[in-house]
Every structure is written in structure tokens, then in C-alpha cells.
Amino acid sequence: MPVSLDTIVSLCKRRGFVFPGSEIYGGLANSWDYGPLGHLLKQNIKNAWWKFFVQEREDMVPLDAAIIMNPRVWEASGHLENFSDELVECKKCHHRFRIDHLLEAKGITPKYDKEQVKVPAEVTCPDCDGKLTEPKAFNLMLKTFLGTTEDSSTTVYLRPETAGSMFINFKNIQSVTRRRLPFGIAQIGKCFRNEITTGNFIFRTREFEIAEFEYFIHPNDWEKVFEMWLGEIKRWWRDIMQVDMDNLVWHEIPDGERAHYSKRTVDVEYKYPFGVKELHGIAYRTDFDLSRHEKVSGQDLHYTDPETNEKFLPHVIEPSFGIDRMLLVALLEAYYEEDAPTSEEGETEKRVVMKFPKHLAPYQVAVLPLSKKEELAKVSKPLAQELRQHFMVDYDETQSIGKRYRRQDEIGTPYCITVDFDSLEDKKVTVRDRDTMKQERIAIKNVVEYLKDKYNN
Ligand code: GAP
């Protein structure tokens, strides 16, 4: 049976993946803090993404740009004018909702047009059944002020996506790296949106991370490059994130529902416990962004092909990924409940095991001395320290060994190393595999190599 979101939320809190934000002050609506394990898992997902989409390719360069940019960036990109959701307000309780979400909940799938949408009579307030106002646009950018006065000349915005900074740095980057088309600029960073309807844990929050790249191409090449990136993205989900591909939905956005500048967009959706919803997307954005920045900044952003001397504005394919949504998917995919044998002959008990792909697991190995006794610590502590040079290591000497195995299963540690009293004699330890629960005696001097082999296969 698929895991419920509540089960994941409670495991995350209990084990230290994700905590409610500002909890000791009563929390802050839909803000979440990644605890020790959540941080490690997130970091591993970001590193894997970076390795796959940037490091292993010859056609990608990195960027780490400012979160706060000149507001004219958002004027050029259209965010100031158009980055809004259509909101309705209940005339009775004054709660506000996104009209597209209310329509979706009633199974009404409109050809959504912001100017013309009318609230059907059967759509009422989900909280008190009151009548709703007509929709009004609400800009999602989070404003703040630079300097000491709060007037409009100091208003700036926290970026709602990282893309803008890649377009405005295109010229700089292309000239210093002497890149020829096609090439991409990649970035991972925090983004902010004043979402009206948040919820479903870390699925939609106001502060989140995006990993995305702008891949600059000659306009004639867009169809084949789009296909190439779709293939790579499939490889990412199958081989690196190792998700069940049946849980993904490749949603080709039809004509009339795409952004006006996009000639092709595919939303990659996931079958979450709360429904099939967007995970991330890939869009062909034509030369919309560079042409807008050229117009608003007055700078020439054209590219000249060194072989043909053709001068043109590059077109762009943009794959964009939400890190927090990828982490949510990693948690949902990893969760298993199984019957596991206890120390009593023939008896079993339920074990919860997070079967993360090994390279994503927060800890790669746990060192568990059988008891707290000094003589065992003399072996287990130096072993843990040696392992730390190569792996993220957890060290746990409290509670029974059975309970410690269960804990490591629940946080997804692929290997546990037990140091027992025999270890003092035979200089060997027991290595237990998370998924098969099989145990092997390995010589202490070979443990690092043994684990390196496991991680390289
Ligand atoms: N530059 C393209 C862009 O920003 P987007 O679909 O608006 O596209 C990219 O955002 C991805 O960021 C989404 O596919 C989703 O994974 C993630 N994302 C967007 N809004 C989010 C939110 N409020 N909370 C968490 N993740 C979000």
C-alpha cells in the first residue's frame, strides 16, 4: 500500500529529517527546517544533480548569483506584471483561495484564462460554504527594502526563480568562458514565492530551492535538443534517483495552455499521496528572455557564431527542478514496511526501512559497538574515525543492538558495522546490509576497501 503523507511527516520529525519551522514559538505557517538527516539527504540530492547535469558534461558552466537583483530584471522577465495567481475571497469568512485549486477540487479543468475565468455557482468556500468574490490577481514576489527608507525607490524582490540571473549573466559568462553554442548555465539556489495556498508538507512552501539550467542553442536545433534533455531527465529519474518510473507522469502541455513564449513544455508529474501533481518541468523558452533583457537593458545580447559569422539571439531550453520536491519524492519512494525476524526463533516484527539509493542515504555507514565497554570503544572509535575520511558515519552505542538496527533502517543507513567481543580476538567486525539484512564478518583492516567497493558498484 502506498505510504501516507502523515506517516512520512511523522518519521521526518521523529528521526530528524524535517522539523516544523520556528516550532518553539508556535511555528510559522508552512515553514520547515531540515534537521541533520534532512540536510544530509538534501545535500546528497544536490550533489548528485550537480554531478549528473553539470560536472559530467563538457557543455555546462556554473553560476552562483545574488538573490536580490536590480528590480528591472523582474520588469524585463514579466514577473512584476504577470507572476501572479488568481485569488478569490469568501464573502462570509474572508478566507482566500486560489481559484484554479478550487476548480480542480471540483473536477473542473478549465482552459484556464486569467482574464475571463468566472467562478461557477457550485464552487463555494471550502471552509464555510460561503459565496466567493470574482478572482483578482495577486503577485507572488516577496518584497523587501534596501537601505533605510521604505519607499518605492528602494523596493527590491527576493528572486522567485534562479533563471533571471542566468540570462543577465549570459554575455559575461559566454565571453569569459569562450563557450560556443550549445552550452548551459546551471545554478542551485534558494527562491521565494508568497504562495497563497501552501501545504502538503514541503511540496509547496514560500521558501524553497530550485536547481535549473538555461541551455543556449541555435533556434534551428530546438526540437532535437529538447528530446536530448528529455532523455537525460528520464535517465536521471531512473538511474540516479532510482524512482519507480510508473510513479511519474510525463505531461505534454497542450497548445493554448503553455506560457505564450513557449513552443513546447513538458511537466514531469508524480503520483503523490495527495494526487498527481507537478514535480518539475522542461520548457523551450525561445529567445523570449534574452530579447526582453536586451530591450529593457539596452545591451546587445546577441551571439556571433565564430565559424559562420551568423549573429543571432540564442534560444533556450530550460529544465527546472525543485530540490524540496525531489527530496519529498526520495522519501516517498524509499519507505517500506516489512516483516523482519526477531531474536526469538520463528518470530517476526514490523520493520520500517528507508531504502534510499545508497549514494543518497544521509549516513553511508553506522558503527555500533555491542556495548559501551571501554575495550570495545578502543576498537570501534578509531574504526569510525578512519571511516569518516571516506564516508558520512553515524556512531551509536546506546540501547540494544536490535533497536539500533531498527533506527538505522528507519533512517536508511545502507551498512551497519557491529564491533563485538569476538572482534577483540579475531580482528573482524560484522557488516550488516540494510536491504537484505545479511551479515558478513570482515577483517577490520579491509572494511574501508570493502565499503568503497560496495559504493562503487
Ligand atoms: N525557471 C522556471 C521555473 O521557475 P517553476 O515551475 O515555476 O519554473 C520550478 O519552478 C520548480 O520549482 C517547480 O517545478 C517545482 O519543482 C519547484 N517549485 C515551484 N514553486 C514551489 C514552491 N512554492 N514550493 C516548493 N517547490 C516549488
Question: What atom of ligand 1 comes closest to residue 193's alpha carbon?
Answer: 23
Calpha distance 278→273 (Å, rounded): 13
Query: Which grid cell sits at 422?
Result: 569476538
- CATH 3.30.930.10 spans which residues of the chain? 5-72+158-330
Is residue 116 over pLDDT 80?
no
Write the pLDDT tens digit of every residue in 142-175: 999 998 877 777 899 999 999 999 999 999 999 9
Kind of pairing, strands 415-419 and 365-369?
parallel
pLDDT at 113 over 60: no
Per-residue pLDDT of 249-290, as tens digits, reads 999 999 988 988 999 999 999 999 999 999 999 999 999 999
Q: What is the pLDDT of residues 190-203, one digit of tens each?
A: 999 999 876 799 99
- Asked if residue 325 has its Cβ within 6 Å of ligand 1, the reply is yes
For the ranges 56-60, 101-105, 125-129, which has the lowest average pLDDT? 101-105
Centre of ligand 1 from the C-alpha of residue 107, in Å: 23
Separation of CA 206 and ligand 1 centre (Å): 10
* Domain 363-456 indexed as CATH 1.10.287.70: no
* Whether residue 193 has its Cβ less than 6 Å from ligand 1: yes
Q: Which three cell numbers stand for residue 185?
A: 548555465
What's the pLDDT at 120? 85
What is the band of 115 on the pLDDT scale with cuts at 50, 70, 90?
A: very low
Give the model confidence (pLDDT) of 332-360 as tens digits: 999 999 998 877 788 888 999 999 999 99
**Predicted confidence (pLDDT) per residue in 379-388, tens digit:** 999 999 999 9
Q: Looking at the domain that runs over 5-72+158-330, which CATH code has it been given?
A: 3.30.930.10
Burial class (CB in 10 A: 0-12, 13-18, 19+), 45: buried
Report the residue among 98, 167, 208 best suited for mutation to probe ligand 1: largest number of ligand atoms under 8 A from its CB: 208
Q: Where in the chain is the domain with CATH 3.40.50.800?
A: 363-456
Separation of 210 CA from ligand 1 center, angstroms?
A: 7
Contact (CB, 8 A) for 56 and 76: no
Say if ligand 1 is within 6 A of residue 278 CB: yes
CB 337 within 8 A of CB 410: no
Atom of ligand 1 nearest to the CA of 279: 16
114 pLDDT exceeds 50?
no
How far is the centre of ligand 1, averaged over its atoms, from the C-alpha of 164 (Å)? 14
Identity of the residue numbered 426:
D
Q: Render 140-180 in DSSP notation, one character per residue.
A: -PEEEE-SS--SGGGEEEE-S-SHHHHHHTHHHHHHHHTPP
435 CA distance to ligand 1 centroid (A)? Answer: 33
